[in-house]
Amino acid sequence: MTAPLLDIRNLSVSLMRDVPLTVLSDISLQLAPGEILGVVGESGAGKSVTGAAVMRLMTRPLQQTGGEIWFDGGRIDTVPESHMQKLRGKQIAMIFQDPLTALNPVFTVGQQLVQTIRQHLPLDQAAARARAAALLGEVGIPSARERLDNYPHEFSGGMRQRVVIALALAGEPRLIIADEPTTALDVSIQAQIIALLVELARSRGMGVILITHDMGVIAEACDRVAVLYAGRLAELGPVRSVLTAPRHPYSRGLIAAIPRVGARLAMLPQIPGTMPRLDALPAGCAFAPRCPFVMEHCKTHRPEATPRADGVQVACWLEEGQ
């Protein structure tokens, strides 16, 4: 593997209250240039916090309590905010779930793009406008030049998300963090946006972190996938391996619970119970209370997500042969 573009090492994030609440615990992820890494998990598993931590968009009471974040060979979690502002939007950009709230309704799309471009690149008004039109064209908006003068409400949901992607591309970033970019969109439009993200990652050599709860999206777009559970990494590996032969009992349960066209089961396999509250995590493995393969050891000892021989990381005592 080439030198990682993004290297998250043992990242922990806590919600600082009277008793600090750990929302992300000891997460390590690497991302190569041009690679698309999926991050899946239930609501509250820590998907979005991971993205926010890399962007340093966490506000109090959320706080990084451990670990390091390296981007392009330099550590970014300790640099001053002024330095981070130069990275944010320029080197690392973010795409949010709801394209309507990510755009300012009182400015035209062109104004927003030109402003963002000139923030990051030394271009004059005319050159920035030409660049804005080129970006809209690149993300697949027809008659891009004319549409620059439209307001966000004049675009459909799918087109708006394309505009948001164009905005993210404005600084020519090397890493894009996409937090549920297709969740608010229709199925046929969702497929278009995923195809666009994959193509951009390949053509520009951009790294993409794709945060989603939709395994179908992961299957189509990602090279590798990280499964989070209760703020911890449960499994990390190539998409094919994790989706067709999941090893962590949680990944297995999660993937079995997804309805598939043509399966025609009477009942869907379901994982008993619910994800524990973060303030009431069990002592050992967080999944132990729901796990069908639970052993005594699991209840007291927390498993590490160590890399196995085949490159898959699984945080499970079953893998240790305990």
Partner 1 sequence: MTPDQLLADQAPTDAPLVSVQNLSRRFDVSPPWITRALYRQPRRIVRALDDITFAIQPKRTLGLVGESGCGKSTLARCLAGLMSPSGGVMHYAGKPVDLASKNDPKVRRAVQMVFQDPYASLNPRWSVEESVGDPLLAFGLAGSRAEMRQMVGALMVEVGLSPRDAQKYPLQFSGGQRQRIAVARALASRPAFLICDEPTSALDVSVQAAVLNLMRRLQDEYGLTYLFISHNLPVVDHMSDDVGVMYLGRLVELQPTESLFDAPRHPYTQLLIQTVPSLDTMGRASAPLKGEVPSPLNPPPGCAFNPRCPFANARCRVERPEPTALPGGGMVACHGVQEGRI
Interface contacts to partner 1, rule CB under 8 A: 42-43, 156-159, 186-192, 194-195, 198, 213-217, 219-221, 239-240, 243-244, 253-255, 257-271, 274
Judge whether 244 and 199 are in contact, CB under 8 Å.
Answer: no
**Extended strands (E) in 50-120:** 62-71, 74-75, 92-95
In angstroms, give the least distance from the CB of 53 to partner 1.
Answer: 22
In angstroms, give the least distance from the CB of 260 to partner 1.
Answer: 5
Beta bridge mates, 44: none
In angstroms, give the least distance from the CB of 254 to partner 1.
Answer: 6
In angstroms, give the least distance from the CB of 259 to partner 1.
Answer: 4
Judged by beta carbon, residue 8 or residue 166, the one nearer partner 1 is: 166
CB within 8 Å of 57: residues ≥ 6 apart: 94
In angstroms, give the least distance from the CB of 257 to partner 1.
Answer: 4
Judged by beta carbon, residue 240 or residue 308, the one nearer partner 1 is: 240
Report which residue type is found at 119. Answer: Q
Closest CA to 69 of 3, 2, 5: 5
CB within 8 Å of 41: residues ≥ 6 apart: 47, 213, 227, 228, 229
Judged by beta carbon, residue 38 or residue 89, the one nearer partner 1 is: 38
Task: Give the H/E segment covering residue 166.
Answer: helix 157-169
According to DSSP, the β-strands at 175-179 and 92-95 are parallel
In angstroms, give the least distance from the CB of 155 to partner 1.
Answer: 10
Q: Which structure tokens are listed for 10?
A: 């043992």
DSSP-assigned letters across all residues of 2-59 = PPPSEEEEEEEEEE-SSS-EEEEEEEEEEE-TT-EEEEE--TTSSHHHHHHHHHT---
Backbone dihedral angles phi then psi of residue 211, each to the nearest 5 degrees: -95, 125
In angstroms, give the least distance from the CB of 136 to partner 1.
Answer: 15
Report which residue type is found at 36. Answer: I
- 3-class DSSP state of 71: strand
Cis peptide before 61 (omega within 30 of 0): yes
Closest CA to 236 of 317, 313, 315: 313
Judged by beta carbon, residue 253 or residue 303, the one nearer partner 1 is: 253
